[in-house]
Amino acid sequence: MSVSMEKIVSLCKRRGFIFQSSGIYGGINACYDYGPLGVELKNNVKAFWWKSMVYDNDNVVGLDAAILMHPKVWEASGHVAGFTDPLVDCKVCKQRFREDEIDPEKLKIRQCPKCGNKGSLTEARQFNLMFKTNMGPVEDSSSQIYLRPETAQGIYVNYKNVLETSRQKIPFGIAQIGKAFRNEITPGNFVFRTREFEQMEMQYFVKPGNDQEAFEEWKEKRKNWYRALGIRQENLRFHEHQGDELAHYAKAAFDIQYNYPIGWKELEGIHNRTDFDLTRHQEYSGKDLTYFDDVNRERFIPYIVETSAGVDRTLLTCLVDGYAEEELENETRTVLRLAPHVAPVKAAVFPLVKKDGMPEMARKIHQELKKLFNVFYDETGAVGRRYRRQDEAGTPFCITVDSQSLQDDTVTLRDRDSMEQERLPIAGLGHELEKKIRTGE
């Protein structure tokens, strides 16, 4: 496996998975739009996460908090003071750089990496990565708010609301999917690091002392989830944060890393955040955020184990892990081996040729199947080319109506990965496909 990022970007653009945002205006840096196939893949990834977290765990409930929050939230969380990168300016060419990304030799003599002037770099200042805006009709510091740089805080400030309304007891979790924004100085690598992105986070509230056990449990559950998503095990590994890597709020942290074309990188973080967050919010809000355990008659601030994944990054992982180019007899085929349950289109229906009643029969099958899942109909061009188009889109199954179909009410079912075909009766086809699609879960 050694697909380049360029091939992924090219496939995404060519097939309508992902476009550069505002492309007709030359684009906007580090923002992307999901096209017809991309949005289906993304929705499937999100739905599978939601099912795995909320529906499969009786003690996890969902939440959807606003992107715009009270500015005090970000003081309590530490983002106002500490969510920064060190920036230096070149006094000559006016360019800005992240100090920690300048070659140390050049930095020593304050030499600009762009214009080459020596002694031209200013001292570093701390640049906050939160996007700022103003709410209400007055534009001054009193109305300044932020676009949330993470979804987690929306869960912490609602934890008492959820407790009071959902009949949960500790240990319990709150799961959320939503957008977050970071004014990254050096975003890049396609949708790996963007300024607007989507997170899938679950915060698990436990009694102090039970945190390590919960941490281990979720670490395993989350790694298994990627396997259920269809990601190959050899491309996944744990990376433990040690020493300086460990955030100030974390007692323990593991990344699930994936073997991207750009190397092993974080796909998801699992953190033992201790009682840091709730303690801070209790302090800054003046509200009681303790939990009362009515069995053991004790009161405490819960510890939190967090599982934090990126939607865009997970989608990228599906694309990278599934991408393959295969040498066939006379051609190279590009195929996207997505797990059937996340594939944008589950099946494509073709008439072998555009005559003799085949299109009519194929359309009828298409109409029936699309009551069950997303199905595509195509009658244009040679059937071989239609197969290739679906291979590239990750469609796991193709159904072809041929002359035999007209006689015995059967069709061929072609498998994307093996390219093998079997003949099946039209009656019961939907049921058969549903079984095959569900296998991945």
Instruction: Pick out residues in 26-85 that bind a second copy (CB under 8 A).
Output: 26-29, 31-40, 42-43, 50, 55-56, 58, 61-70, 72-73
- Rounded Cα distance between 136 and 352, Å, is 61
Nearer to a second copy, 35 or 440 (CB): 35
Distances (CA, A) of 427 to 350, 405, 406, 424, 432: 17, 12, 14, 8, 10
- What is 286-313 written as a DSSP string? -----EEETTTTEEEPPEEEEEEEEHHH
* 150 burial type by CB count under 10 A (0-12 exposed, 13-18 middle, 19+ buried): buried
Nearest to a second copy of 73, 253 (CB atom): 73
Q: Is 106 in the site for a second copy (CB under 8 A)?
A: no
The minimum distance between CB 118 and a second copy, in angstroms, equals 22
Residue 87 engages a second copy in binding (rule: CB under 8 A):
yes
Residue 63 vs 236, nearer CB to a second copy: 63
Is 295 a binding residue for a second copy by CB under 8 A? The answer is no
86 forms part of the interface with a second copy (CB under 8 A):
no
Please say which residue, 254 or 397, places its beta carbon nearer to a second copy.
Answer: 397
Nearest-approach distance from CB 229 to a second copy, in angstroms:
18
Binders of a second copy in range 380-419 (CB under 8 A): 380
- CA angle, corner 179, sides to 178 and 180, nearest 5? 125
Nearer to a second copy, 246 or 372 (CB): 372
Q: Which of residues 231-270 bind a second copy (CB under 8 A)?
A: none
Name beta bridge partners: 126: 86
Long-range contact pairs involving 206-209 (C-beta distance under 8 Å, separation at least 24): 206/170, 206/171, 206/302, 206/303, 206/304, 206/305, 207/170, 207/171, 207/293, 207/300, 207/302, 207/303, 208/274, 208/275, 208/300, 208/301, 208/302, 208/303
Interface with a second copy (CB under 8 A), residue from 3, 15, 149, 412:
15
Please tell me the distance from the alpha carbon of residue 305 to that of residue 290, in angstroms, as a whole number.
Answer: 16
Applying CB under 8 A, among 14, 91, 114, 299 the residue interacting with a second copy is 14
Among 1, 4, 6, 22, binds a second copy (CB under 8 A): 22
Binding piece for a second copy, criterion CB under 8 A, among 109-117, 134-142, 266-274, 331-339: 134-142
Q: Which is nearer to a second copy, 381 or 422 (CB)?
A: 381
